[in-house]
Amino acid sequence: MDRHIEAFLEMLAAERDAAANTRDAYRADLEDFAAFAAGYGISLSAAEPALLRAYLGSLRARGLAARSQARHLSALRQFYRFLLREGVREDDPSAGLDSPRPGKPLPKFLTPAEIIALLDAAGRLPGRSGATAVAALELLYATGLRVSELLALSPSAITAGEAAILVRGKGGKERLVPLSPAAVAAAERLLAGQETPAGRKPGRWLFPGRDPRRPMTRQGLALLLKQAALSAGLDPVAVSPHVLRHSFATHLLANGADLRSLQTLLGHSAIATTEIYTHLTTERLQAAVARHHPLARRRT
């Protein structure tokens, strides 16, 4: 082991009472950089900022996440501050380096097969829960509605013979969203179950809560979807109204929808918000090429 790494680890133990696991992590990161520097014929104590930048670039090329890259840089910073304090160096080569920023997380989505399994499982829920879960899932997946938009729907939004609904979104902006026949049928079944024996029409909400004068709560809907997910054998953490919205957008874009149309359907005020789905579909295409192209794994 490099003597400067050894001295640094002894300092961590003596002055900071660092745990063995922490010291092992620092040792691994520093030895990794030491091996990289040795490839250029440079010792660890003599490394310059350009070499550190090249090393961070190599971490990106190896596919390390931004968080892991930042951890490596943190180890280097503490190490070189130690060398500066001990008089081994007169400068800190890590001082001017920016920490890698974690990318914006891409939205999670379900596959079409998982959507079908979820709908089948929702239909098996007992009593009124099944009709409510199926209608919610069909509408969310057919329209990409936000959960607040879904729960604000009134029974009059579902009109016989109409294949679209008028939605009031953020900022009071209205948009017309097409409905699939399956979504219309599920909503009509839900409404039929809300009628009293005397034939009185449903109340104010398409998805009423326990108190029919109020809409179903977000928590109530989320619980219902998680019950369906468990029944379908899916991770309940991975199923939510927002995931259904992301699934709607992802599947439309993957099947040829243009970005402007998707922006309108989702009710995004800025196209930049919609563009995140292009990154997602691009990653899927890259993964498909990596898996299936005959020359994808060839080394240059």
Active site residues: 146, 170, 242, 245, 268, 277
Q: How far apart are CA 247 and CA 36, in angstroms?
A: 42
Q: Are 192 and 176 in contact (CB under 8 A)?
A: no
**Degrees, nearest 5: CA angle 24-29-34:** 120
CA–CA separation, 184 vs 159, rounded Å?
9
Per DSSP, what are the bridge partners of residue 165? 177
DSSP single-letter state for residue 300? -
Is residue 58 within 8 Å of 36, Cβ to Cβ?
A: yes
Q: Show the tokens assigned to 158.
A: 């579902």
Contacts of 233 (CB under 8 A, 6+ apart): 117, 121
Rounded Cα distance, 222 and 232, in Å = 15
Give, in order, the Cα–Cα distances in Å from 200 to each of 153, 154, 205, 212.
19, 15, 14, 14
Rounded Cα distance between 154 and 13, Å, is: 65
Q: What 3-state class would DSSP assign to 167?
A: strand
The backbone torsions φ and ψ at residue 53, rounded to the nearest 5 degrees and listed phi first, read -65, -40
Distance (Å) of CA 161 to CA 151, 158, 184: 22, 9, 9
